[in-house]
Structure 1
């Protein structure tokens, strides 16, 4: 067993050092964990109880991969070069990465081995190494830096097997070692049984203009009351508080949080929102984007959207993994890519000012000097030069400023600055129009910019002097010249105003400095608990309020990262206690309570919570059983939730009984029914989901969707925790876990249609499934496909007989007649 504790029994080493000191054989030696307490007497007790379980969790992550090493992602190594003590560069064989989907990133743990996947010995040995100093923009890099404590001899190891990434665990470890007393920790150690409400701040919110949105929004009484109470926290320094909001899916939790955020953005306060994953921000991102763009001051020349008041702080891998455009637009990586080209904004403003004040005149003189002794046609040369240079300089500046207006923190653009920018864009457009299409001549340009008369060769000068008299002192100026001079002066005035009033935004800075600036100045930061670790090391404007979405799915020790931000005084936990909790890799840890969420622990202790008792989007036929079975009938259906807006006569809920060997065929046929029902409804964009076992995923996955309006997703039950909703959901019960929470989570995924397929004689042995089947029979929503004499066997030896598909569809179609 490796040594994890020092002589005093403390764990002072970094988690990375402990992991790298392990050998392959020592990883297999685990520890039995004590049961986690529910209350704590001191910070020290609280912190210590998480340290050993965190080590065991990390050990289990590595052991799980070691047990399936032959199927792990791996790199072929060309060589290992030593940089310094315990530090090496791995040179990847570029011809052996075709099948490698994993891109190395910081915190990756690799096993360096002399054997490949096809020649691994039974008792494999090797050295653990961890990737460091990898740039976020690198993908499948040909070499990367690792550290190790093992004996690495150059040329000995030929393969690097990826095992897991320990970044999150390492961040938790560091937080546990550096956690300080802050205003909210005491409430976690000894949680109060009632909400601590500040009546002073609640009354201030009711009379404060930025919070009008709380009262104008279409929230029900319970939702509005909670929103007002949370909004009052942002300015409250009279007390600390810990609030809990419970409710099933589609009961309005995200709507409440988005409304609160909208009011906070208006009041220019700072708030941190955490969720289990970046994907969890899908709904909240849509609300925020709509709110930020809708509340922006609108001018015809300014962009229609504005998103700078919120960012998602996440790793580049999370950004690349998401398919949501709303999430990507808020991700800090996307924001940096958009704003980095704008770092020259000040140079472009100064350059255009210089150009209009005298730069063009100098450029014109330089060109004339070059052409002075050359004979040739110089017609409209200054006019063409002005057209090209003014268009290029002004269009570049306008693009940069519009990009800044969209993505930079919105508070740096006051209402006056917005007006000034709109006036600048209009004046530049006016000047360009006069120059490009206003009928200006060469002589008009010379008079506007005081270039003097045309300088020509000797012969042409002689002819000119004979033909024309000397110019008079008072030359009349035409209206075009007057207009251009006024437009030029107006542009200079607006340019100088904008340059003077947006000095808060940086210029000529590097990407890291810009990232720190955005984190510091953006009012609303959305992030995962792990990524919030970055806020601990940055000097940031004070954050008073932390809101945690889906808090029931986040381990308590992981949530300590954002909670340990010293300025936080108020924490709001939202979630559904009936949802799946955090997943622990170590079953011993899970049984000891290590995987428990703070949300679950506080509720189990009797902490007061606000329960939302209305659901707004799930069809009543679907919500009936979960409501009565899991929520004791406390959840009501909102008005209008039963309206069949999809326009189909299919039944919204049903259980289809069939033998296990026919289950895949039945599901395939049900998908065919869905496709036919909505084949001609191109205006509907529907999500259709199937939850089934891994085997069925391969079988049913052969179905192709020929309808652009249907997005069919075949998923394993192991991905059930992903935060996805479906218009149609078909659940296969074969190999489905019998855990109540898992079943409850699966049933909550459907919005409008839920069809459950299974063998009632098999799953009926389990209490929850048995009660669900009884409920379906009592409501006349049970279809026994086994009793249909014409039920065809269309699935044999892993292949479908498509010719029988319509027959099966008609047989099962009776579910639509209920």
Structure 2
């Protein structure tokens, strides 16, 4: 069995569990990818070590979370005919149909005899698990797949499984894209005509235009329509790209630089629409399914508005890829353009017994010899009571008319114009319209055609006109097969190849473009969001047969490609071809007018990221573009939440309060408002989503109010009226995590049209020594900086959140914190949010104090009383933090023996961490009967941050964030307790 990328697959299957878990397995073997290359071999080889390391990191990430991965039970497994030791270990696997996930080729799975619940869950036998890759899936039987295993399987155990024994397949990850990159890199290493285009960018190249003969030649006059309302920079960019389209002598790569809000998608769609009119066979690629859907939908709108003959011409536009991941069924505007849906619509048209040709012949026979057709019906009929002549002709005519209408509509809509002429399409639509309202005449007397058809109600035509129309309809039916000569194609694969091979505009992800390597040549490749695409992945479409020119559209100042491996990231594996060419000073066509942001929002990112090269459009300068919503800023304590991903519950409360107000405004004023909430941390996104569900679940504004809550990556390319940014980070040392990434910050700051709120901690931002420091300074200068506690409503939200968290049981704490009833009662009576804040930051150097009972100053009046105690817990004693009360002066004391006092004073320091000590019951007679109310603050670690042990596969956080968990001594513990 031939498998693409077999070398890479064999390498992956050769890794042992120990090697997979070794994060440094390829450290020292991955070199930095240079910005210039001396040869094609240097170019393509430079990406291979990083690709291997990235594949290893993806597998490592997946194996850490196998306990959360889809699991299927295997009912049957046996070697295939291609099975051959030692390497071709092919097996056919039957999965349990009751729980089978949809497995596709290049899915990696682990075969094991138990459902894993952690990494070492596989260490159950001498052969803990076997990794296998899905090579082929049976389209007719989704629960049957062919796999290639890393090791031979002991099949006698499988065939003789007792009822208590099972075999499971655990999904790990899919490596399709990495395999396609691997194949393209090795294709490039073969040299030849494949690398003509890429060879122009191995080094700095000052030549940016068309070759001299084409530059001096006459223009073909192809310019974008003026009604499309392009600005000069957009028009210049499009015209420069149309110029290279005409050149057949040289290879050219053009860059269009589209900063936020400058109409990049509009420019791209008009460029593609113009290329369609020029009959230039063009492939448009993007990094993700979401982005390819976006650009395709914009082009489809332009194409649909320009059609002149029904839907004829839509077949020149085709979208292909993974329909499930694209959620194509949910996109009614695009479903007819998706290749699989298109094949499904065309397939019946070419069937020999009921396709379009068969239907035409049947209609002709019915109209020319109605009685003969009726007699044939009577001979074959099994009806107890046969239909009358009138009934038969009425039903049969209606059936054939509907069949022809469906077939002709499908052919005109889905076939490329290269396969169906405009003359044939016109005649098909004409035939549909001609008999759309036709009926069978009453009182059939067997007089042939003249007695059958009543066209358009009959009363508008004389009998002679009826006969003329009927004759013309028959002539149309005979003419169509003569001018549409496409032979019968009863094979779905052949129909797909015809549609892909003759379409003019093709849309897919860069990875899926590999499907075109065996198809008809492509002349031009347009890569949208090119700055988000790894350069080696861009090689997939740029190495397609026939490619002469490419247009890269993007912005290297925004988010780059996602890279799993830190080693590969540091090697430059995530750098895009767009960014590398920008570094080499390749000419970029800048779209320099932004239409999205109010000028007060655009000024900072324009100055900080684009050197004031972007102009504000007149529309955003107008007074009516200014919208006043609700003011507010906030800061709170950062905590660890879902998947070791940071969250900040105070910011969650403030966001919820703001959204609730905006929803009420929308309902009261009947105003359409779109709101986006962005956070760099997945846990914060989830926390905000949960909170909004609780507080705004019943707040329908009649469809006027829309809300999106996403990560930064999920918002690239998006825009809303109002954007609320929850920065999460709140610490005294200026750690802002992902916010140090200028490109991520750029995306955060450029999504809003009218209003941008940023919730964050001033001290953290100012101490970060990043762009956020300058943002705070800029906000202060422009009087845009506010304290949430100065707003009565926001202050109440913060205080309510604090009271809720006081009673929230958390898990997995290192220290147990006990609260007395007096403390809870005292805190519940506090109304001032500033007092809450001071209670949370009361800790001052308790290690230097000698007494067991501590007083910590909250303000001039209040003191927090607390102590380190020991508590009996099953068969041992453990140190606990006991919070006694908030009082005006010291009111409590404790009585301990001298030995117990020494145990309370004892400290165990591990690195920078103070951990609680434990003693066996036999070693002490200490007080184990302290009747205090215990509240376990589960996720409290030494920085007071809340976390869980899970790490989702799509988590945005880098593992370096884990260093923030325990960076402070115990002297900072209670300063981060959320009250």
Same fold, TM-score > 0.5, yes or no: yes
Deviation at 1:644, TM superposition (A): 7.2
| Range 321-330 or range 336-345, more displaced | 321-330
Structure 1 match to 2:688: 700
Q: 1:342 aligns with which of 349, 356, 369?
A: 349
Q: What residue is the counterpart of 1:739 in the other structure?
A: 741
CA distance 1:572–1:324, shift in 2 (3 Å): same
Describe the SS at the equivalent of 2:120. Answer: coil
Q: Give the Cα–Cα distance (whole angstroms) in 2 for the partners of residues 559 and 665 of structure 1.
A: 43
Question: Which has the larger displacement, 256-265 or 112-121?
Answer: 112-121
In the alignment, what sits opposite 1:262?
A: 273
Contact 1:664 1:696 in 2 (8 A): yes
1:641 maps onto 2:620 in alignment = yes
Q: Does 1:24 align with 2:3?
A: no
Report the counterpart of residue 726 of structure 1 in structure 2: 720
1:521: how far off? 0.8
Check if 1:527 corresponds to 2:485. no
Secondary structure of residue in 2 paired with 1:76: strand
- Distance in 2 (alpha carbons) for counterparts of 1:689 and 1:270: 40
Q: Which of the residues 408, 416, 424 maps onto 2:415?
A: 408
Question: Are the aligned partners of 2:370 and 2:449 in contact in 1 as well (CA < 8 Å)?
Answer: no
The answer as to 2:381 corresponding to 1:381 is no
The residue number in structure 2 matching 1:285 is 296
Residue equivalent to 2:240: 229
SS at 2:490's partner residue?
A: coil
Structure 1 residues 276, 236: CA separation in 2 closer, same or farther (over 3 Å shift)? same
1:351 aligns with 2:367: no
State the match for 1:145 in structure 2.
Answer: 146
Partner of 1:785: 788
SS at match of 2:604: helix
SS at match of 2:133: strand
User: 2:667 maps to which residue?
Assistant: 679
Per-residue Cα deviation, 1:38-90 (whole angstroms, up to 9, x for no partner): 21122122222222221111111111112232222222333423324112233
Structure showing greater Rg:
2
Q: How much does 1:510 deviate?
A: 1.9
Alpha-carbon contact 2:592-2:615 (below 8 Å) kept: yes
Q: How far did 1:511 drift?
A: 1.7
Aligned residue in 1 for 2:773: 770
* 1:70–1:119 Cα change, 3 Å: closer
Mapped contact 2:65–2:118 kept (Cα < 8 A): no
Alignment size in residue pairs:
739
Q: Is residue 2:615 matched to residue 1:606?
A: no
TM-score where L is the length of structure 2: 0.70
Stretch of structure 1 that moved more, 233-242 or 158-167: 233-242
Q: Alignment partner for residue 430 of structure 2, among 416, 423, 445?
A: 423
Alpha-carbon distance in structure 2 between the residues aligned to 1:585 and 1:334 = 34
1:192 aligns with 2:193: no
> Structure 1 508/546 Cα, relative in aligned 2: closer, same or farther at 3 Å?
closer
**How far apart in 2 are the matches of 1:745 and 1:309?**
35
For the Cα contact (< 8 Å) 2:255–2:551, is it kept in 1? yes
Query: 1:400-447 deviations in whole A, cap 9, x for unaligned?
Result: 2112222222444444334322321233236x24x25xxx43127547
Q: 1:150-197, CA deviations, whole angstroms, 9 ceiling, x for partnerless residues?
A: 121124672222111011111111122222333312212234124123
Q: 1:531 to 1:447 in 2, by over 3 A?
A: closer
1:570-612, Cα deviation, whole Å (9 max, x unpaired): 1111111101111211111111112211111111112121222
The higher-RCO structure (CA 8 Å, 6+ apart) is 1
Say yes or no: does 1:591 pair with 2:592. no
Shift of 1:524: 0.5
Deviation of 1:275 (Å): 0.7
Q: Is the counterpart of residue 650 in structure 1 residue 629 in structure 2?
A: yes
Aligned to 2:821: none
Residues 4-49 of structure 1: CA deviation (Å, up to 9, x unaligned): xxxxxxx995312222222222323324211112211221222222
Alpha carbons of structure 1 residues 799 and 341: separation in structure 2 relative to 1, 3 Å: farther
* Offset from partner CA, 1:249-291 (integer Å, 9 cap, x none): 2212222222222122122220111111121134422331222
Counterparts of 2:705 and 2:153, CA distance in 1: 54
Deviation of the 1:726 alpha carbon: 2.6
Picking from 73, 78, 103, the partner of 1:81 is: 78
User: Structure 2: which 5+ residue stretches go unaligned?
Assistant: 84-88, 159-165, 454-460, 638-648, 730-736, 808-831, 834-979
Residue 577 of structure 1: aligned partner? 556
Q: 1:202–1:350: structure 2 CA closer, same or farther, 3 Å change rule?
A: farther
Residue of structure 2 equivalent to 1:166: 175
Provide closer, same or farther for how the CA distance between residues 12 and 667 of structure 1 changes in structure 2, counting only shifts above 3 A. Answer: closer
2:111 is matched with 112
| Compared CA separation, residues 445 and 699, structure 1 to 2 (3 A) | farther
Moved more, 114-123 or 165-174: 114-123
Q: Is the alpha carbon distance of 1:489 and 1:356 closer, same or farther for their aligned partners in structure 2, counting shifts above 3 Å? A: farther
CA contact (8 A) 2:765 2:776 kept: no
Instruction: Give the TM-score of the pair, scaled to structure 1.
Output: 0.83
Name which of 613, 636, 652 aligns with 1:659.
636
Deviation at 1:721, TM superposition (A): 6.1
3-state SS of paired residue (1:656): coil
TM-superposed CA distance for 1:728, in Å, is 2.2
Query: Which whole-Å CA distance do the structure 1 matches of 2:543 and 2:667 have between them?
Result: 53
Cα RMSD (Å) of the superposition?
3.3
Residue 32 of structure 2 corresponds to residue 35 of structure 1: yes
Unaligned runs of 5+ in 1: 1-10, 452-478, 802-806, 809-818
Structure 1 Cα separation of the partners of residues 539 and 65 of structure 2: 32
The 1:307–1:681 alpha-carbon spacing in structure 2 relative to 1, beyond 3 Å, is farther
